[in-house]
Amino acid sequence: MQLRYQYRVYPTPGQQDLLARSFGCARVVFNDALRARQDAYAAGVTLSDTDVQKQVVTAAKKAPERVWLSEVASVVLVQACQDARRAYRNWFDSMSGKRKGRKVGAPRFRSRKDNRQAIRLTRNGCSIRPNRKLYVAKVGELKVAWSRYLPSDPSSVTIIKDAAGRYFASFVVEVDQQPLPEVDSEVGIDLGLTTFAVLSAGRVVDSPRFLRRAERTLRKAQQTLSRKEEGSNNRAKARLRVAKAHAKVADSRRNFAHQQSTVIIRDNQAVYVEDLAVSGLVRTRLAKSVHDAGWGMFTRMLEEKARRYGRAFVKIDRWFPSSQLCSACGVVDGPKPLSIREWTCPCGAVHDRDLNAAINILAAGRAERLNACGGTVSPAA
């Protein structure tokens, strides 16, 4: 299976200039390729992938207004061209129904002001040198902070610059599955708003204090930014401070999600979560805070680790009232506002809202898994 491994890199000021040039050229080629495809489509002309590449890379390099494209590695330009092709295809297939799943929007043109600047290279344009530096064509050898062991030779690398001005190398590597010894326990997880998560066995996972502190710093930085005058120097400084605070929150969140997902996968043979795209919460005004809480990232980590370590991962993908259903008697007791943390079912059972939901998710997940295995059990809901 393929996984992404990301490391911080520290380019010298000279290398930063060269990277900036590569980011710029990749952006221009991406936009040119997108425009070429749109124009061809509007004119009813079919344009092959090779045609597009010839037009926006090979021919463009000879044009006076694009001659600077030759200053960067051509693999970067070719990959940008392919990124545009994939974005366009995904959108097209999504519209025609060929691509399943969530609708993909029309590809957006890239801008110099985007929060994330990136180039993608294949083995043609990058390699890890014996001195452990990462060689990138036309940029040089970059210093990498190897924070964890890279399990195999990468087939491609993306160099990223984020809004906080940090650089990263993101590798795609092939890793072996490493099934863990089987265990008996299974778990349903209710992702919460007041707490990070509640597990069906009763464990409450709170957001750690360092994360809450980072979030507070971010809020303050955002307030300061909103008070600065448009276009002023101070505003630019405040914006960078917000970006840095943002990056810190994102990092803390990712680390925390990694720790938690590792423990959950280690301790359980099967993990069940609600698919948030269909859960009641996301359709409400809470949508923003839901995304902020990083649930998507967390469930993706669980899914990936389950696959890697031989555990079952099931998303309950139909809507079911996990917080209205009594996990003791099965009665649906009607909707409950989020402020209600505890309720008593007519059957006499007293429920903690989130724990009850987690237990229901466990039951529904088990039923769904049995069905998928050819069993005949119907979901309790």
Write out the catalytic residue numbers. 190, 274, 354
Smallest distance from the beta carbon of 218 to Zn ion, in angstroms?
Answer: 42
Selection from 69, 51, 49 nearest residue 60 by Cα: 69
Selection from 192, 179, 173 nearest residue 260 by Cα: 192
Nearest to Zn ion of 121, 359 (CB atom): 359
- How many chain residues touch Zn ion (CB under 5 A)? 7
Token pair, residue 306, equals 């389950």
Smallest distance from the beta carbon of 152 to Zn ion, in angstroms?
Answer: 52
- 326 touches Zn ion by CB under 5 A: yes
Smallest distance from the beta carbon of 345 to Zn ion, in angstroms?
Answer: 3
Q: In what order do the strands lie in the sheet with 140-145?
A: 117-122, 156-161, 167-174, 2-10, 140-145, 134-136, 126-128
Instruction: Report d(CA 92, CA 121) in Å as an integer.
Output: 25
Smallest distance from the beta carbon of 334 to Zn ion, in angstroms?
Answer: 12
Nearest to Zn ion of 225, 325 (CB atom): 325
Smallest distance from the beta carbon of 324 to Zn ion, in angstroms?
Answer: 11
Half-sphere CA count of 69, side-chain side, radius 13 A: 26
Neighbour count for residue 237 (Cβ, 10 Å): 13
Which one of the spans 107-115, 198-206, 330-338, 356-364 is the region binding Zn ion (CB under 5 A)? 330-338
Token pair, residue 95, equals 């519209």
Smallest distance from the beta carbon of 363 to Zn ion, in angstroms?
Answer: 13
- 328 touches Zn ion by CB under 5 A: yes
Nearest to Zn ion of 297, 328 (CB atom): 328
Per the document, the length of the chain is 381
H or E, element range at 132: none
Which one of the spans 1-9, 223-231, 277-285, 318-326 is the region binding Zn ion (CB under 5 A)? 318-326
Nearest to Zn ion of 278, 349 (CB atom): 349
Q: Alpha helices, DSSP H only, in 44-118?
A: 49-53, 60-62, 74-96
- With beta carbons less than 8 A apart as the criterion, state whether 169 and 7 touch: yes
- 347 touches Zn ion by CB under 5 A: yes
Site string for Zn ion, 268-307 (x = CB under 5 A): ----------------------------------------
Instruction: Report d(CA 258, CA 147) in Å as an integer.
Output: 14
Which one of the spans 150-158, 219-227, 291-299, 322-330 is the region binding Zn ion (CB under 5 A)? 322-330
Figure out which of the listed residues 95, 106, 263, 329 binds Zn ion, where binding follows CB under 5 A: 329
Q: At what angle do helices 13-43 and 74-96 cross, to 10 degrees?
A: 40
Smallest distance from the beta carbon of 106 to Zn ion, in angstroms?
Answer: 48
Figure out which of the listed residues 349, 352, 369, 381 binds Zn ion, where binding follows CB under 5 A: 349
Figure out which of the listed residues 345, 369, 370, 381 binds Zn ion, where binding follows CB under 5 A: 345
Which residues have CB under 8 Å from 356's CB, separation 6+?
322, 323, 325, 326, 327
Nearest to Zn ion of 87, 363 (CB atom): 363
Please give the single-letter amino acid code of residue 360: N
Nearest to Zn ion of 3, 349 (CB atom): 349
Nearest to Zn ion of 95, 329 (CB atom): 329
Q: Which long-range contacts (CB under 8 A, 24 or more apart) does 125-131 make?
A: 125/73, 125/75, 125/76, 126/157, 128/153, 128/154
- 47 touches Zn ion by CB under 5 A: no
Instruction: Report d(CA 340, CA 91) in Å as an integer.
Output: 42
- Which residue ranges make up the site for Zn ion (CB under 5 A)? 326, 328-329, 331, 345, 347, 349
